[in-house]
Chain A
């Protein structure tokens, strides 16, 4: 397939040096992190943990120093991320800002936005949410209706955003609003804004509890909420192009196959040193995939570092990675046939309990499997 090409990636020696530092850091800081939080991995909010990472210069680490970054390479960042994820570090507080909101502001934001917002992200003090989906705009994102109407000095916003992870705790929301036309205009007339969630009148954040019992999602209502001109990201009407770029960041990272890794690790422990044939086969299947997907994920990062545009490879990585993550609880079920106890269970049970349920959401974030396969099919020239 000439269209699809994963170049084997190699890690430079400074990235391996960083790996040692990160492992030493995790050996110290992860001691007090309970299994339930590890199972939640990159969706677990833990502001103090994020601040500790910030102190090390490990948030926004590829960004320019003048905005608080460390100007390190994408491959060094890759190593940091995979180490954090494999350990089940609770990195949710800064994850979205580090992965997509910060890079978005760096690329399309104003100098003022960069100077005022990015340093707080790198210190692990500023958290972001994503305001894309609406009650009637999920996979069909271009049909968003929430309106930002031009008024003196800014925009007046009416409508709502849904499935907004962490909006009840975040400082800012990067939101996609319609600045002109109607939902029928599709990709035209959309603009991105940074909304100050803590200091804006007319914003109401209501919880949506998910089936695991966690409060992660919210619906964010805007009623004549005022967003000043200086908080607009990019030009009016460029929102769709910017969002597509942002989603490419969202799809390409190692979190796309490592979300269930705490369960893989616990399954190895559960099987013990002398597993049955069935257990050994199941574990081996998991690990063969994990190791191969790591190479693919690394390959995508290497291509990004080299300034290439691996959009298709990133979509393939998401398709495979999500399939893998979602298979893990089923394999664990096959191997151990255990109904996990919610109260006072082992680390394996706690992890299995959470991931068995949360699993169904893994293929939704960043685009459903069907949407992602559609992107792959386009890359293959079918549409």
Chain B
């Protein structure tokens, strides 16, 4: 299996490297939908990686999804691949049809209602790619029961807005009939937030590794005081710190996806988002500082990654929000369960 993931990794890396050129990223910033990139992603079956064969997918599992999303983050792919993967997985779990096209997810559920006639109502902020999407998938409470819905583009109005990475984060007003069904037992009102945090942690892992690698290259190329700045101890110390922090975030993200393949990664995905957010803080500081003024220009490519990291670390729950959940659960379990709960996580994977 890990060999298959290696081959997948090479394939998707090539795909994103070819398509996510600086020119394309600039065009995406300006609002141009990267039609060719999305078509290639769909052609290669990446949007269906999590779906079983009878639904047209390959049933590759979450760990394969990690490989895809890590690569997407590494190249700042300006498309809602994480959202479409997550939405498809939710629809499949709920037994709903998975339509073709761009499907995004609605992060919040508490401002949406489903009327008895099957009409969705309510307003939600910051919905990723809503205007461009063909469908939105979300969770809604209906008479105390949680339901999964799939709303076609005709069932909502979208007012465009953007995060600082200039990725669409639109205001959605639901106005129409959606396909909906009762959520399966393992889906709770937190499921989209939890798995959303997890997919972001994979994208962040890719972007974090990228900025450290690019900055290392920069320290080798940039000469000051007569030598490459990599030779200065203070630069070495800073880069060692950034690399270590990023390695931890990568480990935490991988661990969450491993956990997702065996059950609900409630603890691991929370850890992954905390570590990814912390690493984003440390690594973007150090990488920008090391680049100096050139890294602050629009012309240099560093910002395509750092602006995404700053946006993603706030989406689907920031560090403190997830840390609080972890802390509350541990406190409720008490000090004597602390260590055995940590080791039980690993045991379950063997």
Interface residues of A in 1-55 (CB under 8 A from B): 1, 4, 6, 8, 10-13, 16, 19, 23
From B326, B343, B346, A283 is in contact (CB under 8 Å) with B326
A333 at the interface (CB under 8 A from B): no
10 closest A-B pairs (Cβ-Cβ)? A284-B323, A284-B327, A280-B327, A284-B326, A377-B236, A283-B327, A373-B240, A376-B240, A269-B335, A288-B274
The 8 A CB mask of B245-259 against A (1 = contact, 0 = none) is 111101110110010
Known: A283-B330, A288-B252, A296-B247. 16 other contacts (CB 8 A): A8-B254, A11-B347, A271-B327, A273-B332, A281-B320, A284-B322, A287-B342, A295-B251, A295-B252, A319-B244, A373-B240, A376-B240, A377-B236, A377-B240, A380-B243, A382-B235
B310 at the interface (CB under 8 A from A): no
The 8 A CB mask of B320-343 against A (1 = contact, 0 = none) is 101111111011101100111011
Q: In the complex, what residues of B have CB within 8 A of residue A292's CB?
A: 248, 251-252, 255, 271, 275
The 8 A CB mask of A267-300 against B (1 = contact, 0 = none) is 0110111110101111111011111111110110
Q: In the complex, what residues of A have CB within 8 A of residue B235's CB?
A: 382
Instruction: Using C-beta atoms within 8 Å of the partner chain, give the interface range for chain B.
Output: 35 or more
Q: In the complex, what residues of B have CB within 8 A of residue A274's CB?
A: 331-332
A316 at the interface (CB under 8 A from B): yes
Cα of A269 to Cα of B337 in the assembled complex, Å: 11
Given A268-B334, A274-B331, check contact A11 B244 (CB 8 Å).
no
Q: Give the interface centre of A8, A16, A288, A296 by most chain B CB atoms within 10 Å.
A: A288
Cα of A146 to Cα of B309 in the assembled complex, Å: 52
Q: Which residue of A lies closest to B342 (CB)?
A: A291
Q: List 25 A-B contacts (CB under 8 A).
A: A1-B246, A8-B254, A16-B350, A261-B339, A264-B338, A265-B335, A265-B338, A268-B338, A269-B335, A273-B332, A275-B331, A280-B325, A281-B320, A284-B326, A284-B327, A287-B342, A288-B322, A292-B275, A294-B342, A319-B240, A373-B236, A376-B243, A377-B237, A382-B231, A382-B235
B230 at the interface (CB under 8 A from A): yes
Given A275-B331, A280-B324, check contact A12 B350 (CB 8 Å).
yes
Q: In the complex, what residues of A have CB within 8 A of residue B243's CB?
A: 1, 4, 316, 376, 380
Given A273-B332, A275-B331, A316-B244, check contact A380 B323 (CB 8 Å).
no
Q: In the complex, what residues of A have CB within 8 A of residue B83's CB?
A: none
The 8 A CB mask of A289-327 against B (1 = contact, 0 = none) is 111111110110000000000000100100110000000
Contact B324 A284 (CB under 8 A): yes
Q: Output the least CB separation between A215 and chain B (Å).
A: 30
Q: Output the least CB separation between B227 and chain A (Å).
A: 11
Cα of A298 to Cα of B258 in the assembled complex, Å: 15
Q: In the complex, what residues of B have CB within 8 A of residue A11's CB?
A: 346-347, 350
Given A10-B349, A10-B350, A292-B248, check contact A374 B330 (CB 8 Å).
no
Contact B247 A268 (CB under 8 A): no
Q: In the complex, what residues of A have CB within 8 A of residue B325's CB?
A: 280, 284
B241 at the interface (CB under 8 A from A): yes
Cα of A282 to Cα of B323 in the assembled complex, Å: 7
Cα of A4 to Cα of B247 in the assembled complex, Å: 8
Q: In the complex, what residues of B have CB within 8 A of residue A23's CB?
A: 340
B22 at the interface (CB under 8 A from A): no
Q: In the complex, what residues of B have CB within 8 A of residue A374's CB?
A: 233, 236-237, 240
B67 at the interface (CB under 8 A from A): no
- Interface residues of chain A, those whose CB is within 8 Å of chain B, are 1, 4, 6, 8, 10-13, 16, 19, 23, 82, 86-87, 261, 264-266, 268-269, 271-275, 277, 279-285, 287-296, 298-299, 313, 316, 319-320, 370, 372-374, 376-377, 380-383
Q: In the complex, what residues of B have CB within 8 A of residue A294's CB?
A: 342-343, 346
B209 at the interface (CB under 8 A from A): yes
Contact A291 B331 (CB under 8 A): no
Given A4-B243, A293-B248, A295-B255, check contact A382 B323 (CB 8 Å).
no
Interface residues of B in 181-225 (CB under 8 A from A): 209, 212-213, 216, 219-220
Q: Give the interface centre of A23, A264, A292, A293 by most chain B CB atoms within 10 Å.
A: A292
Cα of A33 to Cα of B76 in the assembled complex, Å: 53
Contact A280 B251 (CB under 8 A): no
Contact A271 B219 (CB under 8 A): no
Contact B331 A8 (CB under 8 A): no
Q: In the complex, what residues of A have CB within 8 A of residue B343's CB?
A: 19, 82, 294
Q: In the complex, what residues of A have CB within 8 A of residue B274's CB?
A: 284-285, 288
Cα of A13 to Cα of B231 in the assembled complex, Å: 46
Q: In the complex, what residues of A have CB within 8 A of residue B170's CB?
A: none
Cα of A329 to Cα of B254 in the assembled complex, Å: 29
Q: In the complex, what residues of B have CB within 8 A of residue A279's CB?
A: 327, 331
Cα of A195 to Cα of B55 in the assembled complex, Å: 71
B25 at the interface (CB under 8 A from A): no
